[in-house]
Amino acid sequence: MRTINKEEILAKLGHVVVLKGGQSAEREISLISGHAVFRGLQRLGVQSSVIDVDDSIISDLKKAKPDLVFNMLHGQGGEDGVIQGLLEIMGIPYTGSGVLPSAIAMDKVKCKLIWQQLELSTADFLVLNEQTDWQRVIDQLGKTVVKPVNGGSSLGISIVDNAAELQNEYLVALGFDKQVMAEKCIEGKEFSTGVLGDQLLPTIQLETDRDFFDFEAKYEDRNTRIICPPELRPEKQMELEHLIRTAYESLGCAGLARVDVMQDRTGEFFLLELNTVPGMTDHSFVPMAAKQIGIDFDELLLRILEVDLKQGGK
């Protein structure tokens, strides 16, 4: 990745306010990510403060008077265009993608429909409801991933292979979102790649002894294996990187995002999802990937801020 000028970036920042917490199902991860970012900004000498977001967020922001908001709110209310819209109205620059890209990326159905329209490879899916013919879904998709349409951190996700389990897990997923989808399960290798503006972080290959990368595998299981560089031939690595860049650009994303991809046993890639506010915990994929090329956590923060400063913080 290109070199950066630390002093120049710091001189432009002013007061940076980190938003964390919120009221989504991903609150606990957001608190950890936000705390890590705040501590990193403090180490860098940035004038910074932190807000645990609740119903008083408007008055809290008016009181804090930030020059830039570093958004670390995960899930609904934080990466679905809601907080972005509020910050736009208040005239406060912020990190990450804008209102529309955030809203689309958060809604997996709308995101996948766009990718399908652009002929970007993504797994087949169906939207579920109480009138769904459960056996028909299994007949059509086979082994199936049940997931909330709006959500992250693998919360509420399960894998099923029969109609009875599908119906049961649909009800479980409803506890995380009012919309639930069924997606054809792609079996093979899983990859995750951070995108920072026009630059790609190293792709990491993920391995777990669990059935899939659930919440525990992502944030708690110390046996989760990270392979970097991934086990890909050079031409497949180039194909994957092109798919990732196109997926990011197709939604109009900005700043930091993370794209997750599966590769089936024939070698074909399938887009899973795009996360516009990736985790920044010590177990998160983006900081791990940056570390592989000698970029520590604090330098990663500087690079995120540099990109957002160049883009005018929306």
The verdict on whether 5 is a catalytic residue reads no
Say which of 258, 303, 306, 308 is annotated catalytic.
258
Distances (CA, A) of 25 to 80, 111, 155, 168, 176: 13, 21, 8, 20, 7
The verdict on whether 258 is a catalytic residue reads yes
In the chain, where does DSSP find H-type helix? Answer: 6-13, 27-44, 57-64, 82-90, 99-106, 108-117, 134-141, 163-173, 215-219, 234-250, 285-292, 297-310
Say which of 192, 275, 303, 313 is annotated catalytic.
275
The verdict on whether 275 is a catalytic residue reads yes
Say which of 79, 214, 260, 308 is annotated catalytic.
260
Say which of 34, 219, 248, 306 is annotated catalytic.
219
Say which of 77, 197, 279, 313 is annotated catalytic.
279
> CA–CA separation, 38 vs 50, rounded Å?
7
The verdict on whether 248 is a catalytic residue reads no
Q: What is the DSSP string of 152-213?
A: -TTTT-EEE-SHHHHHHHHHHHTTT-S-EEEEEPPPEEEEEEEEETTEEPPPEEEE-SSSS-
Buried residues in 193-208 as b, exposed as e (16+ CB within 10 A): bbbbbeebbbbbbbeb
Mapped onto helix, strand or coil, the DSSP state of residue 73 is coil
Say which of 153, 158, 250, 284 is annotated catalytic.
153
Measured over all CA atoms, what is the biggest interatomic distance in the chain, rounded to whole angstroms? 61
The verdict on whether 56 is a catalytic residue reads no
Task: Give the type of residue at 292.
Answer: Q
> CA–CA separation, 80 vs 103, rounded Å?
4
> CA–CA separation, 181 vs 59, rounded Å?
37
The verdict on whether 299 is a catalytic residue reads no
Say which of 273, 284, 303, 306 is annotated catalytic.
273
Say which of 22, 26, 77, 98 is annotated catalytic.
26
The verdict on whether 279 is a catalytic residue reads yes
Distances (CA, A) of 310 to 58, 91, 197: 26, 17, 10
The verdict on whether 192 is a catalytic residue reads no
Catalytic (active-site) positions = 26, 153, 219, 258, 260, 273, 275, 279
